[in-house]
Structure 1
Amino acid sequence: MLDLKEIEKAYERVSGVVHRTPFSHAPILSQKSGYEVHLKKENLQRTGAFKLRGAFNKIASLMESGDITGVVAASAGNHAQGVAYTAHHFGIAATIVMPESTPLTKILGVKEFGATVILHGANYDEAYAHATEYAEEKGLSFVHPFADEEVMAGQGTITLEMFEDVKDLDAIVVPVGGGGLISGIAVAAKALNPDIKIIGVSAEGAPAMKKSYDAQTPIDTTSVRTIADGIAVRDTSPVTLEYILKYVDVFETVCEDEIAAAILFLLEKQKVLVEGAGAVGVAALMHGKLKLPQNAKVGVVLSGGNIDVTMLSLIIEKGLVKSSRKMKLSVLMVDKPGSLMHFTELLTKVGANIVQIGYDRTSIDLEFGDATVSVHLETKGIEHQEQIRDVLREGGFSFKEEY
């Protein structure tokens, strides 16, 4: 069984290779949540995620035994980069099997370290099945992303750094996919302070571990769908579930909108860029999922920052709409000279800035003599948007809002 001694041994291996990432007080999030919140910024880790810790510890231990010619891994991206970096460090070959939906930024990140990438399957579990077959066929060492005690020991080194920086933490909030991160963190934390609360958070769209935790037995799911691709694990590992059931005090889930809101909040208010998996702990805090004493000292692990820029753009766009800072309208008007000018004059009157506009007079859905204007506006909140609605109605315009 994994214990503190193994995690301390792992820390000796990874020190000097992994970054000691900041564990920073987050004043805005603290005020918003009512807790004293500190963020462990593994998004700033070398390779952009905590996974390097576990991958390096595992491969380093294999190198010490001398029983290794090359490695194979399955990953949605962050473990892949950790394995690829470590293999490059030791001068051995690495083959990474990634789901076909893996963001390009993570694929390129793996290739930059000289690893071979195979795209296979619709999710991690399908990629995993192919990777284990490939490793057996080629006689290579398979490095599991979470169900391996040496990998978990590497992830647990995060706890040692957190406790050195803030000695009296009351709780640690950890993203959960396969469960390797929270297993390693929980073992170390409970050994150092048995009273600390360990809180796991997963995405509603990847519910296997949450269902298994509630039922106290492994439960697999048929599919996963979440923007938190780093924790999009379909099946439950009995190995990590055993540790989770023993050491984790609370297990919560967050929905896609909550994850997106947390990503945008961290970017805008904390100046921190994280991926979906890295934001779930903050999402739980922001949306009142945690029940802790007021002013409790809470450490939140931002597990990674490797977000696809296309996804980030979509999250920002939707976030602006949801926070009433952007408004999308489809406006019906008479197709005659001056109609569009009258419309834009009304928007000018209330200080609404047009960022995109389109004019359609040919759609078969329109009556003869009508036109539709689609317009995207920058707005200043709920009251400003209500002003815009009022002035358009007073001006005789019929409109629909798009979300």
Structure 2
Amino acid sequence: MDQPITIKDILDAQQTIEQQIVCTPCPRSYLLSEWLGCDVYCKLEYLQHTGSFKERGVANALKHLNATQRQHGVIAASAGNHALALAYHSQRLNIPATVVMPIHAPLIKVDSCRRLGVRVLQHGTTFAEAASHARQLCEEDRLSYIHGFDNRHVITGQGTLGLEVIQQVPHVDAVIVPVGGGGLIAGLATAIKATNPNVQIIGVEPMSMPLFSNSLAMNEPVTMPIVPTLADGLAVGRMGDLSFATASKWVDRVISVDESELALAVLRLLELEKAVVEGAGASSLAALLGGKLPDLKGKTVVLPLCGGNIDPLVLRRVIEFGMSVDHRLCRVNVTISDRPGGLATLTRKLADSGVSIQDIRHERIFGGPDVNTVLVQLILEVRNSEHLQKVIHTLQNMGYNAQIQYGIDKPQGH
């Protein structure tokens, strides 16, 4: 059985990789602090060379290979960020590398790995299938397998993030950490609790995949079917044995966030912090936006924004979804006269009300029995729900039959 990970292991890792990775800034967010009522600091891990914290663990693991292992090369299975980190640092150290990715891995991450010059193989529809194939190749080609989160050197490398948090925000009261396989929270919690045991370590996971919560309930890692989530970097199916054993000793509590909270968090970071962060990286903010941590009001909270590799097309959809959650992008049905000028009158009134029309469609066949009217379906951008209600009230006073279709409820509080 692996020996417990200690603060000394993480301090050693910090010395090993300090010239290999970026000591990312951890500035105070004035806007988020004002919005949420607590002192919010964002650890900008998306500023690493390949856009995520995964570089810390990979750089440390590669540095611990012996000469024979370096010559034969390394292999890993990953849906994205671990593969990118391995591709970058293996090429920098002249170590042959292969990454096995599921066939549905995000295109931006697959293409980025290929551009970095490593061998990329796509196999299976799930991470588990990709990992099984990678293990097989590992045996056949005498490669060293670098696990993304259940590897001692990877975990201690991730723990260096915790050391930086304590150095940059020594008065921190709580750190909210995304949890998937558990490598980050295991290393970070070990580092922070050894330095200041009073700091709360709060794990956050997708509501659709409560892997850590279920594992804690069973007192061992459990296996779950992978469910699609915006926080795709956290959807791994099973925590690592070592990462779970380590994290379960130090983590104070775990909360879950739903897809609407994740989308709203990505949108808030884009608008308020000018930061492009993927769903998994934004989950720490999602925990605060959902109003699930009222005890942190007035406290100093650090949010590790641990990844920024999001597909542009996915980002576009997330922005639109987030705006609908925020009641700023809404669908409205209005019945108007089907005579010349009917639509012009409606759009003029909407423009006068400060509304931007994003999309408009006519529905004549299923709009109703009155052949003199037509149902118009509009996607409107408004300032907020109060603005929309005012617009609808104005239209109704003018005799229009106008109905709002939000589609999504806004998370509690924000």
1:350 equivalent in structure 2: 353
Partner SS, residue 375 of structure 1 = strand
Alignment of structure 1 residues 235-250 onto 2, 5 Å: 235-250=238-253
The question of 1:121 aligning with 2:141 is answered no
Asked if the contact 1:224/1:233 (under 8 Å) is kept, the reply is no
Amino acid at match of 2:238: D
Q: How does 1:244-259 map to 2 (within 5 A)?
A: 244-259=247-262
3-state secondary structure, aligned to 1:195: coil
1:319 is displaced (CA, Å) by 2.0
The 5 A counterparts of 1:100-179 are 100-179=103-182
Q: After alignment, is 122-131 or 36-45 more displaced? A: 122-131
Separation in 2, partners of 1:220, 1:196: 30
Residue from 212, 218, 221 that aligns with 2:221: 218
Structure 1 window deviating more from structure 2 (337-346 vs 129-138): it is: 337-346
Aligned-pair CA distance for 1:385: 1.1
User: 1:133-184 CA deviation, whole Å, 9 max, x = no partner?
Assistant: 2212222111100001100011011112122212232222211100000111
Displacement of 1:92 in angstroms is 2.2
CA-atom RMSD in angstroms: 2.0
**Range 49-58 or range 388-397, more displaced:** 388-397
Residues 364, 38 of structure 1: CA spacing in aligned structure 2 closer, same or farther, 3 A cutoff? Answer: closer
- Displacement, 1:370? 4.2
1:194 counterpart residue number: 197
Query: Any idea what the Cα deviations from partners look like across 1:46-102, whole Å, max 9, x if unmatched?
Result: 100000110111011114675541111111100000110111011122111112222
- Structure 1's unaligned 5+ residue stretches are none
Query: What letter matches 2:233 in structure 1?
Result: G
Match of 1:391 among 384, 394, 402: 394
1:233 corresponds to which residue? 236
**More deviation, 3-12/27-36:** 27-36
SS at match of 1:24: coil
The one-letter amino acid paired with 1:323 is D
- Where in structure 2 are the equivalents of 1:3-402 lying within 5 Å? 3-63=6-66, 68-290=71-293, 292=295, 294-361=297-364, 363=365, 367=369, 368-402=371-405
Q: Any conservation in 2 of the 1:22–1:41 contact (CA below 8 Å)?
A: yes
In 2, distance between residues paired with 1:69 and 1:135?
Answer: 10
Letter paired with 2:213: K
8 Å CA contact retained: 2:203, 2:254: yes
CA distance in 2, matches of 1:150, 1:349: 61
* Count of aligned residue pairs for this structure pair: 402
Amino acid paired to 2:281: G
Q: TM-score, with normalisation over the residues of structure 1?
A: 0.93
Residue identity (%) = 38
CA deviation profile, 1:266-306 (whole Å, cap 9, x unmatched): 11112222111101111112223235464322222111111
What is the identity, as a one-letter code, of the residue corresponding to 2:307?
A: G
Q: Which amino acid aligns with 1:245?
A: S
Q: CA separation in 1, counterparts of 2:191 and 2:321?
A: 39
Alignment partner, residue 410 of structure 2: none
